[in-house]
A and B are shown apart, each in its own frame.
Chain A
């Protein structure tokens, strides 16, 4: 899954597996996470790339369950950030318990 990357830049394809898809609450959790890190997050679906710290931009990607989106993190703490982001997606944003 992991494609070309450097120390400063991490890339990964993440799958949305919670039933509701990437709705406001889930998007909010991504933004809250992004605010904890220095690095910048970009999310893209098909050819559209958006700022991962903007809840509105994430919503406009319109991702139902099953969508695969590309995450790109650029900055000093990109590795730790990507780890937490992967966790968040794997936990289905804390939903579907």
Chain B
């Protein structure tokens, strides 16, 4: 409702989460902003009509929810409870009766009345001590939004249908929103909320498009179609820039691109040490659209394809066909380089709404990843079928997350064999020699890595979780986050043990956590004798630069030295000193802290 005389220039400062500069038009996707425009008073004669309009929207919403429920695949039918509870909320007196009463008594339109009812429920829920119950307000919000969309007569704003390249402006973007985006039309993101680790940040970094979050009121101050400059390196956003701004930022933009192309040149050279040791550098990806960037950065394959993304959409669980098409495309684009597909690692904060799981006290140690797949064999088999079918379109490797012991490997392999037989029976071909490996990310798996080598073709050490589990540190708990130390002597010894056992058995060993992309870690990972590193595509040029500068002999020496040290800090200080000496130009360019 704000009036905007002459559309004055305006500046905002947020948190930069993905570098780069873009100049383009705003596309507002925030729904609540739109709804404010729909707030008006009605007169007595309109009351009956307004109530009927609301009831009609309720019926439409009910039909939509019933349709969604019926479309759920057979093997997850038991989880249709979520939709059942949405249907109950839809008919709940706290939401409906109170909305109708407001229309009648306060003489306000249905949208406004519904919003008021929702806010009242939210107030009540906020007072509930039990977090699990108070969080159910999200279900109420989801139902309310659906009713609102049906009231305004417009279909759910379809992010997939954006036609021209735009800058997405939103209060917040949920994983469901972003899965529906037509990525090629998005220049960048800016949001009111969020921080370094928000979903928007991770998404933008992976896509290598600029993003600024935490702008607080961007979705209120910016109108649809306004010209914006977004600087993802500094967090600046300019609304309605003047010519001088545009010229200044275009110059900055040019310099940034130049810098990117300089380091990109390094990335296409092999990761080979001056004394001739080759280590494979691969990329971690989360969704199909990243594959192009992976190639540009010189990755020699995908070392970790996280497959959770398709399960996080709002549309419902992906079908075998959808999964197959996705995996096939990745395999085809990357061929002849290998693609390691990790089976579903859902759990913790990433639960798909379709899989109904009770709130867990300790989700990192709860029912997730391979545990969930073994409990939901239908879900698991669908994914395995899709991966097997895709395997003939490139070089696909299969990897299971969160393995804690041999028993789980035997169980998953039994399911895998059953699925293979099923495909044989249907006359569907697949790569019979597809390598099968496991993530080493639970301390027990490290301890029995000698036993595990008998059952798999490769290991991939997932350091993010391994550090968390080995040091008993909750990564997202701000009070103990400082104890999350990749250089902890225990972690270095664990990695060494896995590499030694893998070597003895002659299987390949990869490392795919954040450590793989940390330039300070590169010398010791080289010295450890890993076969491959899989990392964020953006870090590949830097890691390759380091590999190409340090002789293997030197790296082995450094690793031996580091093993003698007592604390993570000593290790870090040692490595920092070595790196500054070995590759001074990197230090000067600000790649390491002073």
- Report which A residues bind B (CB closer than 8 A): 20-21, 23-25, 28, 31-32, 51, 53-57, 59-60, 62, 64
The yes or no answer to B85 lying at the interface (CB within 8 A) is: yes
The yes or no answer to B36 lying at the interface (CB within 8 A) is: no
Q: Inside 8 A of B85's CB, which chain A residues have their CB?
A: 24-25, 28, 55
Partner of A54, one of B84, B93, B139, B358: B93
B128 touches A24 (CB 8 A): no
A59 touches B93 (CB 8 A): no
A60 touches B92 (CB 8 A): no
The yes or no answer to B426 lying at the interface (CB within 8 A) is: no
Proximity bits, B259-297, A CB within 8 Å = 1, else 0: 000000000000000000000000000000000000000
Partner of A56, one of B81, B132, B140, B358: B140
The yes or no answer to B125 lying at the interface (CB within 8 A) is: yes
Within 8 A of A (CB), among B85-139: 85, 88-89, 92-95, 121, 124-125, 128-130, 132-133, 136, 139
A60 touches B124 (CB 8 A): yes
Q: Which residue of A lies closest to B127 (CB)?
A: A60
In the complex, how many angstroms separate the beta carbon of B363 from the nearest chain A beta carbon? 15
B81 touches A25 (CB 8 A): yes
In the complex, how many angstroms separate the beta carbon of B125 from the nearest chain A beta carbon? 7
B88 touches A55 (CB 8 A): yes
Q: In the complex where A56-B95, A57-B93, A59-B136 touch, is A28 in contact with B84 (Cβ < 8 A)?
A: yes
Q: Inside 8 A of A59's CB, which chain B residues have their CB?
A: 125, 128, 133, 136
CA distance A55 to B136 in the complex (A): 11
CA distance A6 to B139 in the complex (A): 38
Q: Which residue of A lies closest to B88 (CB)?
A: A55
CA distance A54 to B91 in the complex (A): 8
Question: Counting chain A CB atoms within 10 Å of each CB, which of B89, B133, B140 scores highest?
Answer: B133
Can you list 5 pairs linking A and B with CB atoms under 8 Å apart? A25-B356, A32-B88, A51-B93, A60-B125, A64-B130
Partner of A62, one of B93, B128, B139, B358: B128
Within 8 A of A (CB), among B436-490: none
CA distance A31 to B130 in the complex (A): 20
B81 touches A62 (CB 8 A): no
In the complex, how many angstroms separate the beta carbon of A73 from the nearest chain B beta carbon? 17
CA distance A64 to B129 in the complex (A): 11
CA distance A75 to B192 in the complex (A): 51
Partner of A28, one of B81, B95, B140: B81
Q: Inside 8 A of A23's CB, which chain B residues have their CB?
A: 132-133, 358-359
Q: Inside 8 A of B133's CB, which chain A residues have their CB?
A: 23-24, 59, 62
Partner of B139, one of A24, A31, A64: A24
In the complex, how many angstroms separate the beta carbon of A69 from the nearest chain B beta carbon? 14
CA distance A54 to B132 in the complex (A): 18
CA distance A57 to B133 in the complex (A): 11
CA distance A53 to B132 in the complex (A): 21
CA distance A64 to B139 in the complex (A): 20
Q: Inside 8 A of B84's CB, which chain A residues have their CB?
A: 28, 32
Q: Inside 8 A of B140's CB, which chain A residues have their CB?
A: 56
The 3 closest A-B CB pairs, nearest first, are A56-B94, A55-B88, A62-B128
In the complex, how many angstroms separate the beta carbon of B161 from the nearest chain A beta carbon? 33
Other than A55-B88, A62-B128, give 20 A-B pairs with Cβ distance below 8 A: A21-B130, A23-B133, A23-B358, A23-B359, A24-B133, A24-B136, A24-B139, A28-B81, A51-B93, A54-B92, A54-B94, A56-B89, A56-B94, A56-B95, A57-B93, A59-B128, A59-B136, A60-B124, A60-B128, A62-B133
In the complex, how many angstroms separate the beta carbon of B79 from the nearest chain A beta carbon? 11
In the complex, how many angstroms separate the beta carbon of B65 from the nearest chain A beta carbon? 14
In the complex, how many angstroms separate the beta carbon of B354 from the nearest chain A beta carbon? 15
Q: Inside 8 A of A31's CB, which chain B residues have their CB?
A: 88
